[in-house]
C-alpha cells in the first residue's frame, strides 16, 4: 500500500478520500488555490501545498504544479477525485511518466472511452447495445440533415469530445436542425475545444441507469449494482438512488453483464461507471465515466463497500475482494445540494455561507466541505453537499431523506434542497413513474417552502411559550419560599 497519497482536487471529494486514507493509515497531501486556503480539506490533510490562484486554469488544472507538489512532499500516488483532471488521459500519462501511481483507470482506456464516438465503436464491437445512430461525426450541416433523416426524428445532437450535459440538443423537427446543430457544435467547441457533433436517435421517455464497476490489474471486473440517475435538469443530476426501481432480477443481471463486458473491452481497471439509457424495456450504452462518480455513496450504503478503499487497493496492484452477484440491501437516495436558485432557472447563487445546520440521525450521511464563512465563488462547481439516506426499503429511504432535508439549512445562498424536497413528495416520484424529463413538466406548489417555514416557526413559538410558562412557575415558586428544581440545581452548583 502507498506511504503517502496526494489528492488533486478540493471540497467534499477531497475530504472523502482523506477519510478513507486515514482509516488505512495513509498520510495525505492536499493542494489548494488561494481562495481555498482555509478549506476543510486543507485543514484535514497531513500536508497542504498551494498550487495557484483561484481560477482552475491557474490551480487545479495545472498539471506541473500538482506533480511538483507530489514530488516535494514525497507522495507516491495521486487520486484525481472527480471533475478537473480526473478524466484527462494526458494527466494520467503525466503522473505515470513522473514515476507516480495514478489512482484511476489506464490512460488508454480513458482515451477510448473519453471520446463518445470511439467508445460507441468499441461497444458495438464488444456486443454491447448502443442507441441507434452514428459512430462518426457529421462533417457539416448538410451531412447532419441527411443523417438525421436516415435515423428518424426526434434526434439528439451530441458533442463527441465531452459530456456533463454540454453540447447536447434535441431536435424533433427538420426545420429546427440548423439551429440545433450550430448551438450544439458551438457549445461543444467552447466547453471541450472540440466542435465535432454526432447524431443518434432520441429515445422516448428514457431513464438514466448506470452500473458501478470496479476492475483490478489482474483482469477481474465486478459490477457493484446499478444506480437510478433519472431526475435531472439540463442533463445534470439532482437526485440519485440505488437500486433502480424499474429493473427486475433478469434485467438487472443483463445490464450488469453488459457493463462488465464494456469495461473488459477497453482493458479497464479501477473504479468507473457504465451509463445506460432505458427505454421501452431495453437498455442502451450511453457513455462510460472513467472515474469515481459524485453519486457513489448510494452504492456504498446499499452494498456495504468503500469504493475509495477499493480504488486504493487496485491502484496498489492488489486483487479485488469484491465478488460477482452482490445483492442490494435496502435502498439509498442521494440529493445533491447545489448553490443554485431553482426558481430562477438554476442560476448560480454566489455568496458567503452565513450559518449552516447539517442533518444527522440514523442512516443519514452528509458529504460536505461546508463551514460557516465558506465562500461560494464562481470559479468552481456549485455542489455544496451531498445528503444520503438509507432505508430498509424505498419508502423508508424517502422518509429519512425528507427528514434530513427539512433539518438542513444553508444560510446566505440559495440551494436546490427545497426543490429536491418537493420532488420527494411528488406522487409520480414516489410511485417510480418518471423519466429524464420529469423536472421539465414538474409543477410543485409554489408555497411549499413557506408552509414548511411557517410550521417550523409555529413549533419554535410553541416551544418558547412552554419554556416561558415553566420559568414563570419556577420563579414564582422561589419567590414564595418554595425551592424549585431549577433553583436547587443552581444552589447545588455554588
Residues 397, 398, 399, CA angle at the centre, nearest 5°?
A: 90
Residues 429 and 316 in one domain: yes
Q: How many CB atoms lie within 10 A of CB 224?
A: 26
Average pLDDT, the chain: 90
Range of the domain at 53: 5-103
Phi, psi (deg, nearest 5) at residue 279: -155, 135
Instruction: Give the span between the Cα atoms of 169 and 179, in whole angstroms.
Output: 10
Q: Which residues contact 320 (CB under 8 A, 6 or more apart)?
A: 214, 215, 216, 218, 220, 222, 310, 313, 314
The total number of structural domains in the chain stands at: 4
Distance from the Cα of residue 408 to its chain's centroid: 18
Residues 306 and 388 in one domain: yes
Rg (alpha carbons) of the chain, rounded to whole number: 25
- If you write DSSP's letter for every residue of 8-54 in order, what string do you get? ---HHHHHHHHHHHHHTT--EEEEEEGGGTT-HHHHHSSEEEEEE-S
What mean pLDDT comes out for the span 259-271? Answer: 97
- Domain presence at residue 109: no
Residues 57 and 161 in one domain: no
Domain end position, chosen among 150, 170, 201: 201
462 given a catalytic annotation: no
Cβ neighbourhood burial of 407 (10 Å; 0-12, 13-18, 19+): middle
- 8 A C-beta contact, residue 353 and residue 411: yes
- 8 A C-beta contact, residue 79 and residue 291: no
Q: Is the peptide bond before 154 cis (omega within 30 degrees of 0)?
A: yes
The answer to whether the Cα torsion of 462, 464, 468, 474 is positive or negative is positive
- Domain presence at residue 119: no
- Domain presence at residue 108: no
Residues 21 and 67 in one domain: yes
Domain end position, chosen among 103, 119, 140: 103
What mean pLDDT comes out for the span 191-217? Answer: 93
- 8 A C-beta contact, residue 269 and residue 232: no
Q: How many CB atoms lie within 10 A of CB 175?
A: 7
Instruction: Give the span between the Cα atoms of 110 and 192, in whole angstroms.
Output: 15
Domain end position, chosen among 160, 184, 201: 201
pLDDT in tens, 159-196: 987 766 778 999 999 999 999 999 999 998 987 888 99
Q: Is residue 482's pLDDT more than 70? A: no
Cβ neighbourhood burial of 467 (10 Å; 0-12, 13-18, 19+): exposed
What's residue 402's pLDDT? 98
- 8 A C-beta contact, residue 102 and residue 315: yes
Residues 245 and 364 in one domain: yes
**Which of 111, 112, 227, 291 does the annotation list as catalytic?**
291
- Domain presence at residue 164: yes
- Whole-Å CA distances, 174 to 147, 151, 154, 177, 265: 11, 12, 9, 5, 36
Tell me the CATH number at 407: 3.30.470.20
- Domain presence at residue 440: yes
pLDDT in tens, 301-352: 999 999 999 999 999 999 999 988 899 999 999 999 999 999 898 999 999 9
- 8 A C-beta contact, residue 197 and residue 184: yes
- Domain presence at residue 467: yes
CA atoms within 13 A on the CB side of 328: 28
Residues 80 and 43 in one domain: yes
Residues 91 and 222 in one domain: no
Q: Which of 150, 147, 131 has the alpha carbon at shortest distance from 139?
A: 147
- 8 A C-beta contact, residue 3 and residue 76: yes
Tell me the CATH number at 60: 3.40.50.20
Residues 285 and 338 in one domain: yes
Residues 88 and 181 in one domain: no
- Domain presence at residue 219: yes
Q: Is residue 373's pLDDT more than 70? A: yes
What's residue 450's pLDDT? 47
Q: Are strands 340-341 and 364-368 parallel, antiparallel or unpaired?
A: unpaired
C-alpha cell of 136? 462518426
Instruction: Give the span between the Cα atoms of 295 and 405, in whole angstroms.
Output: 17
Residues 394 and 335 in one domain: yes
Phi, psi (deg, nearest 5) at residue 159: -70, 135
Instruction: Give the span between the Cα atoms of 81 and 232, in whole angstroms.
Output: 22
What's residue 478's pLDDT? 43
The model's confidence at residue 460, banded by pLDDT at 50, 70 and 90, is low
Instruction: Give the span between the Cα atoms of 176 and 169, in whole angstroms.
Output: 10
Residues 181 and 74 in one domain: no
Residues 358 and 392 in one domain: yes
pLDDT in tens, 129-148: 999 999 899 999 999 999 99
Q: Is the peptide bond before 243 cis (omega within 30 degrees of 0)?
A: yes
pLDDT in tens, 11-39: 999 999 999 999 999 999 999 999 999 99
Instruction: Give the span between the Cα atoms of 78 and 237, in whole angstroms.
Output: 27
- Domain presence at residue 112: no
Amino acid at each position: 500500500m502507498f506511504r503517502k497519497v496526494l489528492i488533486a482536487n478540493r471540497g467534499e471529494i477531497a475530504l472523502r478520500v482523506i477519510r478513507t486514507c486515514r482509516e488505512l493509515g495513509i498520510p495525505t497531501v492536499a493542494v489548494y488555490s488561494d481562495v481555498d486556503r482555509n478549506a476543510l480539506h486543507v485543514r484535514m490533510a497531513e500536508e497542504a501545498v498551494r498550487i495557484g490562484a483561484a481560477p482552475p486554469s491557474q490551480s487545479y488544472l495545472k498539471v506541473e504544479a500538482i506533480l511538483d507538489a507530489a514530488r516535494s512532499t514525497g507522495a507516491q500516488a495521486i487520486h484525481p477525485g472527480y471533475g478537473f483532471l480526473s478524466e484527462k488521459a494526458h494527466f494520467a500519462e503525466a503522473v505515470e511518466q513522473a514515476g507516480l501511481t495514478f489512482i484511476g483507470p489506464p490512460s488508454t482506456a480513458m482515451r477510448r472511452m473519453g471520446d463518445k464516438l470511439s467508445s460507441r465503436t468499441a461497444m458495438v464491437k464488444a456486443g454491447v447495445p448502443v442507441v441507434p445512430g452514428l459512430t462518426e461525426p457529421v462533417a457539416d450541416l448538410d451531412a447532419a440533415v441527411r443523417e438525421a433523416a436516415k435515423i428518424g426524428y426526434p434526434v439528439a445532437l451530441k458533442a463527441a469530445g465531452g459530456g456533463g450535459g454540454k453540447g447536447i440538443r434535441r431536435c424533433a423537427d427538420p426545420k429546427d436542425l440548423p439551429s440545433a446543430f450550430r448551438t450544439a457544435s458551438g457549445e461543444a467547441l467552447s466547453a471541450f475545444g472540440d466542435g465535432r457533433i454526432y447524431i443518434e436517435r432520441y429515445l422516448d421517455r428514457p431513464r438514466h441507469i448506470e452500473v458501478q464497476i470496479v476492475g483490478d490489474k489482474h483482469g477481474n471486473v465486478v459490477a457493484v449494482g446499478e444506480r437510478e440517475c433519472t431526475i435531472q435538469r439540463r442533463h445534470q443530476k439532482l437526485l440519485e438512488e440505488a437500486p433502480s426501481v424499474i429493473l427486475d432480477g433478469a434485467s438487472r443481471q443483463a445490464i450488469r453483464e453488459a457493463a462488465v463486458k464494456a469495461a473488459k473491452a477497453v482493458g479497464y481497471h479501477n473504479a468507473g461507471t457504465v451509463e445506460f439509457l432505458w427505454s421501452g424495456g431495453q437498455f442502451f450504452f450511453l457513455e462510460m465515466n472513467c472515474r469515481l462518480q459524485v453519486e457513489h455513496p448510494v452504492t456504498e450504503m446499499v452494498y456495504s463497500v468503500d469504493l475509495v478503499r477499493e480504488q486504493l487497493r487496485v491502484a496498489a496492484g492488489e486483487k479485488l475482494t469484491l465478488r460477482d452477484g452482490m445483492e442490494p440491501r435496502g435502498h439509498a437516495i442521494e440529493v445533491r445540494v447545489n448553490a443554485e436558485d431553482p426558481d430562477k432557472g438554476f442560476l448560480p447563487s454566489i455568496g458567503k455561507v452565513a450559518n449552516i445546520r447539517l442533518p444527522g440521525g440514523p442512516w443519514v450521511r452528509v458529504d460536505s466541505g461546508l463551514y460557516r464563512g465558506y465562500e461560494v465563488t464562481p470559479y468552481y462547481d456549485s455542489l455544496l453537499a451531498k445528503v444520503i439516506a438509507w432505508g430498509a426499503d424505498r419508502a423508508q429511504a424517502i422518509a429519512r431523506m425528507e427528514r434530513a432535508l427539512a433539518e438542513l439549512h444553508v444560510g446566505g445562498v440559495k440551494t436546490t434542497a427545497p426543490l429536491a424536497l418537493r420532488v420527494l413528495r411528488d406522487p409520480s416520484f414516489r410511485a417510480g413513474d418518471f423519466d429524464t424529463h420529469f423536472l421539465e413538466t414538474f409543477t410543485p406548489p409554489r408555497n411549499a417552502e413557506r408552509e414548511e417555514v411557517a410550521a417550523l416557526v409555529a413549533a419554535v413559538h410553541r416551544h418558547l411559550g412552554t419554556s416561558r410558562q415553566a420559568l414563570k412557575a419556577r420563579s414564582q415558586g422561589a419567590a414564595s419560599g418554595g425551592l424549585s428544581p431549577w433553583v436547587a440545581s443552581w444552589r447545588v452548583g455554588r
